[in-house]
Amino acid sequence: MITPTASRALPWALIGAACLGSFAATSSGTTRAPFLLEMAHDLDVSMPLVANLVSMTATAWGIASAAGGYLSGLIGRRTLLIAGLVALALAMCAQAGAPTFLWVAVSASIAGGSAGTFMGVVFAEVSARVEDGQRGRALGWVMSGQSLTLVVGVPLAAWIGSMIGWRGWNLCVAGLALAASLSLSLTVRRTAMAADRTEQRRPALRQALSGRVLALLGTGIAERICYGLAAVYFATFLQTVYHLSLAEIAIPLAVFALGNVLGTILGGQLADRLHDRLLTFAVAMALSGVAALGLFMWHPAPAISVALGFLYVMMNALGRPSYMAALASVPEAVRGTVLGLNGTSASLGWICAAGLGAVAISTVGFEGFGPLAGLLGAAGSIGALRCRRMAAAA
């Protein structure tokens, strides 16, 4: 069993700033979910095409995450953290004023690249500042910024967006990104400059891409597809199946997202208290796959679907801190590169989730999400157990 260090030893100022930054970065894409139908009407394109903005954003996010992780070992993390969020704010402003779908796609891709540059590096920075026995909690708190995007960001976007539209909401996200950049410029200066000076050597890519790391990254793709199916389409699921309005889905989305926050917080505790992190991740993936079957294949009433959505996303989030802590258990010289590549693999998951979801909706409807997510949950569980055996044999 891992013995956790006292909570007061955690760098709370850095974690708070990182949490705010992760909230802003994730909001740039995730809070688009309530506006899929509105954006399609405004831009005169189909809803599945708007939904596939996720794929465009995720592609840029993945490329930038890998590049940012590698560059962080050459030029230091602080510059990338601050500049990534400033660029994100500018891209969101451009997206708010885009006249056509083409320019929305271009600005959304730039925003995805800016957010990707930030996220991989901030995970590496927080990981470097804590001991292994604290990493699950520390990364769990940073990931709670992403979870709060669902709890606060998406419902708030639905509510505010009902008054100022999707374009106005993009300007709100730009303001959040600038606030997060200012927060990190102050916090990282106090906590991470020494780390920056020690990170000037070139990371060894071959060391970063070990068999265990590659297997974990592959397993992470299955987990992100499983999560992305719900995160991207849950609002549209409620609107389509139950004919709820944009304002009416705000509270259901908040309840759904609370499962993500609860799972992330509890998962961070489990990651530091249980020795076998990969087993924890495997069990959580298996349970989320089972919950997905009920969520998407049985929808007798909105309240039941929201309750099942809460359970589904909580089980998924429960294993994520264990996965991230296991992935971060690499030498410091390659940690930025590895966690940057995690952003790339996660982006592949988001791309597949958006594409597979669009295909399922156009062919068999939302009922097809159940078996798909169930299979992905099983695949993620099996992959985690395989990585566990690899780690034991090493």
- Amino acid 135: pLDDT: 83
- Amino acid 271: pLDDT: 86
The arithmetic mean of pLDDT across residues 4-9, rounded, is 50
Q: Is the pLDDT of residue 91 over 90?
A: yes
The SS3 call for residue 52 is coil
Smallest CA-to-CA distance from 135 within 267, 262, 21 is with 267
Integer Cα distance of 85 and 20 in angstroms: 11
Residue 5 to residues 8, 11, 141, 319: CA-CA distances in angstroms? 8, 12, 15, 21
Q: Is the pLDDT of residue 229 over 80?
A: yes
Contact 223, 320 (CB under 8 A): yes
The SS3 call for residue 366 is helix
pLDDT digits (tens, 9 = 90+) for 307-343: 999 999 999 989 989 998 888 887 777 777 788 888 8
Within a domain: 196 = yes
The arithmetic mean of pLDDT across residues 2-19, rounded, is 69
Within a domain: 75 = yes
Integer Cα distance of 152 and 72 in angstroms: 30
Q: Is the pLDDT of residue 189 over 70?
A: no
Within a domain: 4 = no
Residues in the chain: 394
- With b meaning 16 or more CB within 10 Å and e meaning fewer, what string describes 117-127? bbbbbbbbbbb
- pLDDT confidence tier of residue 207, bands split at 50, 70 and 90: low
The arithmetic mean of pLDDT across residues 25-33, rounded, is 85
Burial of 186 (0-12, 13-18, 19+ CB in 10 A): exposed
Smallest CA-to-CA distance from 154 within 201, 279, 162 is with 162
Burial of 337 (0-12, 13-18, 19+ CB in 10 A): buried
Q: Is the pLDDT of residue 221 over 60?
A: yes
Which of 48-62, 150-164, 270-284 has maximum average pLDDT? Answer: 270-284
Within a domain: 21 = yes
Dump the DSSP string for 362-390: HHT-GGGHHHHHHHHHHHHHHHHHHHHHH
The arithmetic mean of pLDDT across residues 248-266, rounded, is 84
The SS3 call for residue 201 is coil
Q: What is the mean pLDDT of the chain?
A: 83
Contact 390, 222 (CB under 8 A): no
Contact 277, 392 (CB under 8 A): no
Within a domain: 7 = no
- Amino acid 167: pLDDT: 92
Number of domains in the chain: 1
- Amino acid 184: pLDDT: 87
Q: Is the pLDDT of residue 12 over 60?
A: yes
Residue 156 to residues 5, 248, 314: CA-CA distances in angstroms? 36, 12, 20
Percentage of residues of the chain with pLDDT beyond 70 = 91
Helices (H), 243-301: 250-273, 277-297
- pLDDT confidence tier of residue 114, bands split at 50, 70 and 90: very high
Within a domain: 6 = no
Contact 158, 28 (CB under 8 A): no
Q: Is the pLDDT of residue 154 over 80?
A: no
- Amino acid 192: pLDDT: 43
Q: Is the pLDDT of residue 299 over 90?
A: no
* Residue 57 domain boundaries: 12-393
Domain with residue 208: its CATH number is 1.20.1250.20
Smallest CA-to-CA distance from 231 within 21, 26, 24 is with 26
- pLDDT confidence tier of residue 42, bands split at 50, 70 and 90: confident
Integer Cα distance of 6 and 131 in angstroms: 11
- pLDDT confidence tier of residue 107, bands split at 50, 70 and 90: very high
- Amino acid 330: pLDDT: 77
Integer Cα distance of 21 and 142 in angstroms: 9
- Amino acid 110: pLDDT: 94
- pTM, two decimals, is 0.75
DSSP 49: H
- Amino acid 38: pLDDT: 85
The arithmetic mean of pLDDT across residues 108-132, rounded, is 87
Contact 42, 326 (CB under 8 A): no
Q: Is the pLDDT of residue 1 over 70?
A: no
- Amino acid 253: pLDDT: 79
Smallest CA-to-CA distance from 351 within 59, 63, 81, 127 is with 59
- The contacts of residue 313 (CB under 8 Å, 6+ apart) are 150, 227, 230, 231, 256, 257, 259, 260, 263, 288
Integer Cα distance of 70 and 106 in angstroms: 24
- Amino acid 3: pLDDT: 44
